Every structure is written in structure tokens, then in C-alpha cells.
Structure 1
Amino acid sequence: MPLSVVVPVFNERDNILPLLGEIAATLRGHTAFEIVYVDDASRDDTLAVLQAARARFPELRILRHRVQSGQSTAVWNGVCAARGAWIATLDGDGQNDPADIPKLLAARAVATPAVKLFAGWRTTRRDGFSKRISSKIANGVRARLLHDATPDTGCGLKLFERAMFLRLPYFDHMHRFLPALVRRAGHACQSVPVAHRPRTRGVSKYGMWNRLWVGLSDLHGVAWLMRRTRLTGIDEL
């Protein structure tokens, strides 16, 4: 299985079928793939919509958290369960365009083996003012402390090697720091311009508080990890 598309969701019942349709339309006939949805203990009928969708989308697999655990845990569990050697992630709100997955795959095809993460870069944001400004501040603070050379770590659209990801340290909110963690592990990252769409269904789960301030302690923790890392080549004698 070359590619697994992992989609974390929480209370996204109206976005399930449209996004599944776009993923399938983009990838069918082009590559072998599976779609792994991880329902983070939704309180609406997200799970029922997903279960009904399997009749139309045989590529679909469904995981469900017994307790709401957050986006990073949903991504982690989805990657652990995935069968593909490479993982593409998408936010479940429909703001990432699945049609951009081939852009990431094309970038991988011409990149050196050192590049293990291809990160979507939303060059034109389609969010409200408060969301844009909090992301801009958070990106600026993060770049100043971590020097991760990534203009947009918050984009949910990413492509990375599964084996590499599973060697990274897991913690809540780790998805916000993936480029820094990948570089800390000695690999390279590449940002790829992608589209960004306004949310047309459902309600955003992030605001100024949980997007900016909650991540400060995590940011200092990741900075500590990077300072304490020692990388060296290894010779077998």
C-alpha cells in the first residue's frame, strides 16, 4: 500500500462525504491508497456518516477514540494503524484541498531521499481575521525559537514517511511542530505551496486561545528537545 490518507475529525458530519469524494476522485486510478478516518469521539453523528460511507468508498477505514484526545493523538493513532509507507494528512474541515496531494507526491518524486516531510504552505489564507493574526503571531514566535525554516507549520496537508514519523517523540499538540521534530531527527523538510479554502460547513474547533497561548509550553519543550539533541553519523566496523 503506497499511500495512506489520514484524516482526524471531531464533529464534522457535514464535511465527511464531500471530502471523501474529493480524495477518491483525486487518487483513484493514479495510485494505490487507503483513507483512514480517526473520529475523536465526536458528539454528533460523524461516526454514523462514516459507517454509511463505506458502501461508496471501499478504501475507507474508520478508527474511533473511546475518549476525546485531540488532533495530534488522532493523527498518531491513524499513522500507527496505516498500511502505507507514506502518509498524507488532511484536516477534516474541508479547508485543505485533496487535489493538492499530487503536488506533494510530485515534489517527493524529484526530491533527495533526505527529505522526509513535504509540508503544505497556505500562501493565501481563507480564514477570519482573528484566526489569521493568531497563526501569524504563532508562526513568528515558533520560527524565532525553533529556526525550523518552515513558513506554515499549521497547514494540515502534509506528506511524510510513516517509519520516520513513528520514530518522533509523541506528545499532545506535536502536529504543530512536525517540521522542527523532523529536522531534529536529522531529516530535511520541503514546503510546497497549496490552496486553502474557507470553511463552508461546521464550526471551527480552534480560536485565539487554543491556537496561540496553549502552545507556548509545548514550544519551550520542543526548543529544549532541539537544544539537547546530538546527531552523528554511525560506522559499522
Structure 2
Amino acid sequence: MEYDLTVIIPVFNEEENLERVKNEMESFLKLAKKKSKVLFVNDGSQDNSLLIIKKICKETQGFTFISFDKNYGLSPAIKAGFDFADTKLVGYIDADLQTSPMDFNILLKYADEFQLVTGVRSNRKDSFTKNMSSKIANGIRRAFTHDGMDDTGCPLKIIHTEYAKRIPMFKGLHRFLPAMILLQNGKVKQIPVQHFERIAGKSKFHLWNRLLGPLSDCFAYLWMKKKYINYKVAEKKL
């Protein structure tokens, strides 16, 4: 079966959320504006997440998975999803479902014109501390990257796969996806999307890794930007 979009779902200890993820993704797949499938990336979960993922993929069409040998972190999980995607477009959503898979259809309206379309979480349902740390982190990142994005941490994105596969891997990658597309002379757009409270499982981020992580990653980005190689082939005979 030909698919147009692969939705990557990184998973680390999300056993309480996965049945809901299955149900909501199934609903999206039926109504998706482009033929879509799901790719779970199990990031070395230590609970029953992998067993549940295997059961879902065995019983449900359009669900696939890869599983790491240990926990590597969110950025490697997203990068692995890019590497294994075989569709023209690749999407990303968190397993906590604080964003809605249905909002992929909003992003897909712009996916032909823009190489990355990202959500901006409107009316965020997070705590004051989480919202403020996220706002500060986004301000720090914008000062370094000048990407013009208000909410790069929003876990709802669609990217042209050929661009996603050219993104070099480094920790903190997920905070710089728009900037990495701009480095490739791609176009980016942000669209308001829904946001919901986390109703199961635990957040993997806290105050310090929302602030100190982005700051140190910005210096890594500046070094990489200086060394980044970008080219276009004018003619070829292979």
C-alpha cells in the first residue's frame, strides 16, 4: 500500500497512554487528508510499552515500530524515525497526546508549499512554571537561530522527508527542527493547534533541562551552522 505520510511517535515508559494513542491515531488515519501510517520508536522503555506496541502493530493496519536497545533520548528517537521513514512526508507527535492527531490535517494544508509546518500550542494547559520556562527557552533559541518560531517545542510537526533525512544528529535536535530546515533553504510555517492536559504518565522534562539544555544546545547549533554543508546538483548522469 502506498503511503504519503509517516507519523513518528517516540515512546519512553508510556504504557498508560498507548491504548488511547492507538484509538486516536486510528481515528486520524481514517480521516487523514493524505494516506498515513504510524511509526512507533520505542526509546528503551522500562515498563510494558514495547509489549503493548507489538500487540498494536500486530493487530492494527498501518502501525509499525522500531525499538532501541536502550534509552537514548527524544532527539535520537525522532532522528531514527526520520531515517526509517519511506514516505514523502514525515510527521511527529508525542505519546502523551497533549496535542491532537486530528490537527495534522490543519498542517497538511500547507505541506506542499512549506518544507516544515509546525504547530503552536494555543491556550496551553501546562503549569505556570512549565509555560514560563518554555517561553524563556524559546526566547533564548530565537536569539541564536533567528528562526522566527514561537514554539519549537510543540510536538506536532510535518516535514518533507528528504529535508528531514539531511538533518545532522545531535542531542537537543528536536528544539531546532525549523532552524535546520532554514539552513537547507527550505520554507517553514507555524499554525495554531489545540493543547490538552497530560492525563496519564509522567513528563520527561523539568525546569532545568528546559532552560539549561536549550542554552547549551544553542552553542552547538552555532558551531554546526558554521560548518554546515549545503549544495544543489544542477546536472547529473548516473
Residue matched to 1:87: 90
Identity of aligned residues (%): 32
Question: What do residues 99-121 of structure 1 show as CA deviations (whole Å, max 9, x unaligned)?
Answer: 10100111224x3xxx2000111
Partner of 1:210: helix, strand, or coil? helix
Shift of 1:29: 5.3
Within 5 A, what are the aligned runs for 1:1-237? 1-28=3-30, 30=32, 31-109=34-112, 111=113, 115-227=114-226, 236=235
Distance in 1 (CA, whole Å) between partners of 2:140 and 2:155 is 19
Q: Distance in 2 between matches of 1:52 and 1:233?
A: 43
User: Using the alignment, how far apart are the partners of 1:40 and 1:84 within structure 2?
Assistant: 22
Letter in structure 2 aligned against 1:68: N
Cα distance, 1:217 vs. partner? 1.8
Equivalent-residue separation in structure 2 for 1:84 and 1:232 (angstroms): 23
Determine if contact 2:117/2:190 at 8 Å carries over to the other structure. Answer: yes
Runs of 4+ in 1 over 6 A off after TM superposition: 230-234
For structure 1, which runs of at least 5 residues remain unmatched after alignment?
A: none
Helix, strand or coil for the counterpart of 2:115? strand
TM-superposed CA distance for 1:215, in Å, is 2.5
Please tell me the residue identity of whatever aligns with 2:118.
A
Q: 1:229 to 1:39 in 2, by over 3 A?
A: closer
1:228 Cα deviation after fit: 5.1
Q: Deviation at 1:27?
A: 2.1
Supply the distance in 1 between the matched residues of 2:109 and 2:147 (Cα, whole angstroms): 23
Q: Which amino acid aligns with 1:105?
A: L
Q: TM-score, normalised by structure 2?
A: 0.91
Alpha-carbon RMSD across the aligned residues, in angstroms, is 1.9
Following TM superposition, by how much is the alpha carbon of 1:214 offset from its aligned partner in structure 2, in angstroms?
Answer: 2.0
Distance 1:234 1:10 in 2: 40
Name the SS for the 1:126 alignment partner.
coil
Runs of 5+ in structure 2 lacking a partner? none
In 2, Cα distance between the equivalents of 1:223 and 1:125?
Answer: 30
Tell me, in whole angstroms, the C-alpha distance in 2 between the residues paired with 1:35 and 1:231: 30
Q: Secondary structure at the match of 2:154?
A: coil
Task: Using structure 1 for the length normalisation, give the TM-score.
Answer: 0.92
**Take 2:56 and 2:121, find their aligned partners in 1: how far apart are those partners?**
29
Greater shift in the superposed pair: 65-74 or 55-64: 55-64
